Structure formats: C-alpha cells, structure tokens
Amino acid sequence: MLLPDDVIEDAEAMGLEDELRRVQASNLIAAANIGRWGEALRDEENEERKKILRENIRGAEQAMDRNTARIESILRTFSQLAVSEAMLPKIEADTDFRRAATNKTRLECEKLGKELADDDDNDTPKPVAININVVDARRYDDSADA
C-alpha cells in the first residue's frame, strides 16, 4: 500500500508516547459516544433505531476494551524500558568484574607456570608418604576357640 510522503514522515516522527496519547484520546471519544448514544436510546421509540444505537454502543465498548489493552501494553513497555535502563550500570559493572576476575586468574596461572619453569628440581618426583591400614580379612570361627 502506497502512502503519501507526508503521512510517512509523520509516522516516522511518532513515538510510543504519541501512540499512547492517540489511544487514550480514542477511548475518551468512544466514552463520549457511548454516553450520547445511551441518551438517544432512552429517548428513541423506533425499534430499528434502538437496535442501531445498541450496536453502536456495543461496538464502542469493544473498541474501548481493545484501546485499554493497548494502553496497558504501552505502559508495560515503558516500565520494562525503565527497568532495562536502570539495569545497564549493573550489567556493565558485572561485566567489568568478570573481566577483572578472568584477568586475575590468567595472571595467577602465568605466575605459577613461571615458578614451575624456574624450579630445577621439578624433573624428579618428590616422595610421598602413604599410610595404608590393612585389616585382617580372615574369618574367625567362634566355635573353634571354645
């Protein structure tokens, strides 16, 4: 669908705040129409006109429901954007901390590697004392002792 350039420019300039105001205004217009049609319905005696007024009211109420859902969605989006914006410094601090911890671990590994490389006795294994307690697994017959 092709739209005129001025309409596209206006749409590009609109933000979420503009959308919120537009939907809120639509809700107010629908509420005013419901009130006006409700008064006309009370005064109307023609059944065909009453039917049309009831359909108009029902349609306006449905539009208000859709508009209210959209308003809630936009407000929830604003809230999520605010939380995300507030979280940015924390995310940056966490990232800096993780980089520093990684760098520290890397430097410690390099230091230990140099210490092991400088140790001339590193080629010969060092003896380790191992103490193993062995329990006699033979089964004694209690009747033989008696």
Q: What is the pLDDT of residue 12?
A: 84
More confident residue, 36 or 112: 36
3-state secondary structure 68-126: HHHHHHHHHHHHHHHHHHHHHHHHHHHHHHHHHHHHHHHHHHHHHHHHHHHCHHHHCCC
Given CA atoms 83, 84, 87, 89 in this order, what sign does their dihedral have? negative
Average pLDDT over residues 89-94: 90
SS3 26: helix
pLDDT at residue 83 tops 90:
no
Q: How confident is the model at residue 86 (pLDDT cuts 50, 70, 90)?
A: confident
Predicted local confidence at residue 124, as pLDDT: 59
Residue 84: pLDDT band with limits 50, 70, 90: confident
**Model confidence at 127, in pLDDT bands (50, 70, 90)?**
low
Q: How far apart are CA 92 and CA 94, in angstroms?
A: 5
Q: How far apart are CA 63 and CA 56, in angstroms?
A: 10
- Is the pTM for the entire model greater than 0.85? no
Domain ranges of the chain: 15-119
- For residue 54, pLDDT beyond 70: yes
Greatest CA separation for the chain: 120
Sign of CA dihedral 88, 90, 92, 98: negative
